[in-house]
Amino acid sequence: MSSNILPQHTFPLLDLYACKCYNACMETQNYSTLRIRKDTQRKLKVVAALRQESMLETLDSLVTQEYERLQKGGKRDVALHKDQARGE
Whether the Cβ atoms of residue 48 and residue 54 lie closer than 8 Å to each other: yes
| Residue closest to 47 by CA, chosen among 63, 35, 31 | 63
pTM of the model: 0.54
Say which residue, 53 or 17, is predicted with more confidence.
Answer: 53
pLDDT in tens, 3-51: 555 555 565 666 655 555 555 555 667 888 889 999 999 999 999 999 9
Residue 43, domain extent = 35-88
Domain count, the chain: 1
Q: Is residue 21 part of a domain?
A: no
Q: Is residue 7 part of a domain?
A: no
